[in-house]
């Protein structure tokens, strides 16, 4: 945060400890950094949890609302929601060191959503906990876990040769286990969870022999327009590997929802290879 000095632990800055997590560092250096960050996260946990539980008084909310209506000069009020968002960002900066605390908070129904959102920023070692979070009874936790697995995959696997990984992210991403868990939740009883699961699978483009049939089945079983659109888009990302899904996609070009129709048309072009050919012809 602008204007704040960087926290120090055992005489060193947080960023320097995060640098020691790099996979190219010796094992003993990485393990020592992990231990220091875990210790720091445990010490920071009480304040973090207090911030997550905090609520604004009715009087404070009223004063903030009046100030906003009258376009008064910002007098420094920060709502509980704003403080929580900052706390989530700050605590995730402990990376792998934050995971033990957050794994325990997943057991608290009142804090589980905040815990999984924070886990999403800690890196690939959180994947196992996010997979377990997909089984949580709170659909918001499952939803956020699917989003987090997608985000971590893209930063650690899909674009690892194109972008610099987040500082302090270490370990490998368990792609096979993640795909299997996500495929299982294409049957989640909450449509929005299925939407984010399908979106993640489309972004990953892994294991088409498993994912494409599962997405196709999901497409056949839903009447939810947003889910149909997302699944069609995901199948399109598999390109020719999704050729078996064509018979299920074709009826969608006549769907009553224009977004579903256009997405299905694009997906069929990608699967049939026409989109690339059309692009090449346009550039001539």
What are 94-140's pLDDT values in tens digits?
999 999 999 999 999 999 999 999 999 999 999 999 999 999 999 99
Q: Is the pLDDT of residue 44 over 80?
A: yes
C-alpha–C-alpha distance, residues 50 and 56, integer Å:
13
Per the CB < 8 A criterion, the answer to whether 97 and 37 are in contact is: yes
What are 226-278's pLDDT values in tens digits?
999 999 999 999 999 999 999 999 999 999 999 999 999 999 999 998 654 44
C-alpha–C-alpha distance, residues 125 and 30, integer Å:
13
Reported pTM: 0.85
Per the CB < 8 A criterion, the answer to whether 220 and 244 are in contact is: no
What are 145-181's pLDDT values in tens digits?
999 999 999 888 766 544 445 666 666 789 999 999 9
pLDDT of residue 42: 97
Q: How many CB atoms lie within 10 A of CB 282?
A: 7
pLDDT of residue 277: 46
- Can you read off the two tokens belonging to residue 23? 């996979």
C-alpha–C-alpha distance, residues 197 and 185, integer Å:
7
C-alpha–C-alpha distance, residues 104 and 108, integer Å:
8
C-alpha–C-alpha distance, residues 36 and 209, integer Å:
43
| Site of tokens 């020592």 | 32
Say how far residue 269 (Cα) sits from the centre of its chain. Answer: 28
pLDDT of residue 158: 66
Determine the CATH number of domain 174-284.
1.25.10.10
Per the CB < 8 A criterion, the answer to whether 10 and 39 are in contact is: no
Q: Is the pLDDT of residue 282 over 50?
A: no
Q: Is the pLDDT of residue 60 over 60?
A: yes
Task: Delimit the CATH 1.25.10.10 region(s) of the chain.
Answer: 174-284
What backbone torsions phi and psi does residue 209 show, to the nearest 5 degrees? -65, -25
- Can you read off the two tokens belonging to residue 142? 């499952």
């Amino acid at each position: 945060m602008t204007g704040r000095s960087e926290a120090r632990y055992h005489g060193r800055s947080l960023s320097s400890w995060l640098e020691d997590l790099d996979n190219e560092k010796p094992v003993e250096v990485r393990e020592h950094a992990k231990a220091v960050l875990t210790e720091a996260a445990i010490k920071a946990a009480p304040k973090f949890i207090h911030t997550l539980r905090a609520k604004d008084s009715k009087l404070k909310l009223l004063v903030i609302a009046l100030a906003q209506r009258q376009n008064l000069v910002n007098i420094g009020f920060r709502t509980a929601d704003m403080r929580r968002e900052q706390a989530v960002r700050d605590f995730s900066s402990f990376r792998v060191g934050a995971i033990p605390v957050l794994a325990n908070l997943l057991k608290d129904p009142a804090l589980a959503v905040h815990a999984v959102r924070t886990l999403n920023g800690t890196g690939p070692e959180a994947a196992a906990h996010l997979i377990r979070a997909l089984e949580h009874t709170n659909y918001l936790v499952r939803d956020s876990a699917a989003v987090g697995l997608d985000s971590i995959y893209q930063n650690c696997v899909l674009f690892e040769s194109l972008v610099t990984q987040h500082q302090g992210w270490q370990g490998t991403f368990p792609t096979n286990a993640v795909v299997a868990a996500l495929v299982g939740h294409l049957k989640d009883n909450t449509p929005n969870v299925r939407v984010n699961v399908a979106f993640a699978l489309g972004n990953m483009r892994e294991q088409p022999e498993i994912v494409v049939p599962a997405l196709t089945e999901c497409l056949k079983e839903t009447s939810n327009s947003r889910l149909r659109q997302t699944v069609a888009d995901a199948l399109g990302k598999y390109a020719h590997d999704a050729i078996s899904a064509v018979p299920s996609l074709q009826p969608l070009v006549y769907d009553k929802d224009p977004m579903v129709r256009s997405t299905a048309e694009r997906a069929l072009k990608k699967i049939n290879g026409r989109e690339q050919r059309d692009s090449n012809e346009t550039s001539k």
